[in-house]
Homo-oligomer: A and B are copies of this chain.
Amino acid sequence: MDYKFSSGIASLKPSIIREILKSSGNTIPLAAGNPAPDAFPVDDIKKIVNDVLENQPILALQYGISEGYAPLVETLSTLAKERYGAYGENDKLIVTSGAQQVMSLACHCLINHGDCIICEEPAFIGALNCFRSHGARLVGVPLEKDGMNLEILEEKLKTEENVKFIYTIPNFQNPAGSTMSFEKRKAVYELAKKYGVLILEDNPYGDLRVSGESVPAIKSLDTEGLVIYSGSFSKIVAPGVRVGFVVANEKLIAKFTVAKQTQDVHTPLISQLIVYKWLTEFDFEAHINKIRDIYRRKLNLLCDCLDKEVGSFFDYQRPEGGLFVWAKLPDGVDMLEFVKKASAAGVSVVPGNAFLCDGDAPCDYVRLNFSTPSDEDIVKGVKILGEVAKTY
């Protein structure tokens, strides 16, 4: 049988990162992006699940509604409003199967084949592939140290047809590690308003700030119902539970709910109950402080090692949080060759072109991660990178 795939899926390639991780075997995984396992509240989750299956087994095992477990929706709505400044007057919230599903729902509900999505460049590969799989046309706007280049953003908004939304991770961006300044958040919002375009504000790392001052969400500026705000518990509880949420104008959420129903009916109740009880019965602020300490230590360890072992070979900005460091190689160094040399020497890093709208475009960056490897492996891995750098 000669299969005829949908136009979006037909052109999609498997994730470069997955392929690298598959072929990188026993190398030190600076290419990964998993949260640190010692950041998972294992004991809390054990207690919660025991309690739930003892006292509410049918609730946990029966079908639920697509919007999510009602008490969790209420708790998250309050959290979105009070903690994240991300819940406006005409907004609603639904629970999603991870923040990835928010991207999927946004495409499902908003994208016709050929519609345009404006992305920060570089951008999260899981988002780019989701957008591509729906046949969206991706247009990149270069990311600077404090967010998107505003002139190019406006130029694209002016010239590109059928722009449906601007996709951004304003806090500790994946892969760039950068945080958008409040001035740029305001400017991006004003441009979206001017050109009648939505913003998909993806905030999976917001709670992982390890230094500096937090910046209000773009959603906090949203008086027009333009911002779709996506939150995740993958980094502050655990990714395996697959719980995220989306806040947006109630008209958008009505369609997202219908779309979610067609995708997976609802997010598993056990997962939802873990997050609900963790938020309401445990000291989650204390836990977030604990994981911030873990990530602060690991981020600084990676960066201190880089400064010591790799020196000026890497040009990078120390991030104020998140999981990633985005490092530029010296002019004239072939990035893919460097990645292969590093892998052969025992360290995997991600080639930066994986994060571009056009994955075949030239790129002299690599992405490094500090949450997955052990402290010992960070030290060893960066030493190896230093040795590879010296061959140039």
The distance in angstroms between the C-alpha atoms of A9 and B42, with both chains bound, is: 39
Residues of B within 8 A of A97 (CB): 97, 263-264, 268
Contact, CB under 8 Å: A112 / B57? no
From A44-52, A209-217, A282-290, the one touching the partner chain is A44-52
Q: Is A24 part of the contact surface with B, judged by Cβ < 8 Å?
A: no
Q: Is A98 part of the contact surface with B, judged by Cβ < 8 Å?
A: yes
Residues of B within 8 A of A98 (CB): 264-265
Contact, CB under 8 Å: B34 / A62? yes
Contact, CB under 8 Å: A61 / B239? yes
* CB closest chain-B residue, reference A273: B240
Residues of B within 8 A of A145 (CB): none
Contact, CB under 8 Å: A64 / B240? yes
Residues of B within 8 A of A57 (CB): 40, 42, 45-46
Contact with B along A250-270 (1 / 0, CB 8 A): 011011011101111111111
Contact, CB under 8 Å: A164 / B4? yes
Q: Is A129 part of the contact surface with B, judged by Cβ < 8 Å?
A: yes
Q: Is A392 part of the contact surface with B, judged by Cβ < 8 Å?
A: no
Q: Is A196 part of the contact surface with B, judged by Cβ < 8 Å?
A: yes
Contact, CB under 8 Å: B261 / A264? no
Q: Is A226 part of the contact surface with B, judged by Cβ < 8 Å?
A: yes
The distance in angstroms between the C-alpha atoms of A257 and B14, with both chains bound, is: 9
* CB closest chain-B residue, reference A34: B63
The distance in angstroms between the C-alpha atoms of A239 and B267, with both chains bound, is: 11
Residues of B within 8 A of A78 (CB): none
Q: Is A312 part of the contact surface with B, judged by Cβ < 8 Å?
A: no
Q: How far is the CB of A198 from chain B (nearest CB, A)?
A: 8
The distance in angstroms between the C-alpha atoms of A134 and B45, with both chains bound, is: 37
Contact, CB under 8 Å: A100 / B242? no
Contact, CB under 8 Å: B265 / A268? no
Q: Is A79 part of the contact surface with B, judged by Cβ < 8 Å?
A: no
Instruction: Tell me which residues from 20 to 42 in chain A have a Cβ below 8 Å from any Cβ of chain B.
Output: 34-35, 37, 40, 42
Instruction: Tell me which residues from 90 to 144 in chain A have a Cβ below 8 Å from any Cβ of chain B.
Output: 97-98, 100-101, 103-104, 107-113, 126, 129-130, 133-134
Residues of B within 8 A of A46 (CB): 50, 53-54, 57
A263-B49 contact in complex given A34-B62, A242-B268, C-beta closer than 8 Å: no
Q: How far is the CB of A238 from chain B (nearest CB, A)?
A: 4
Residues of B within 8 A of A59 (CB): 240
Q: Is A1 part of the contact surface with B, judged by Cβ < 8 Å?
A: yes
Q: Is A225 part of the contact surface with B, judged by Cβ < 8 Å?
A: yes
- Extra A-B contacts (6), CB below 8 Å, given A6-B112, A101-B264: A5-B255, A6-B111, A46-B50, A104-B262, A130-B263, A242-B268
What 10 A-B pairs are tightest by C-beta distance, nearest first? A61-B238, A130-B262, A240-B269, A97-B264, A61-B240, A42-B57, A63-B239, A46-B53, A37-B58, A242-B268
Could you pull out 20 A-B pairs where Cβ atoms are within 8 angstroms? A2-B196, A3-B252, A3-B255, A5-B255, A9-B109, A9-B255, A14-B257, A34-B62, A46-B53, A49-B49, A61-B238, A62-B240, A97-B268, A101-B263, A103-B262, A126-B265, A241-B270, A242-B268, A268-B268, A271-B271
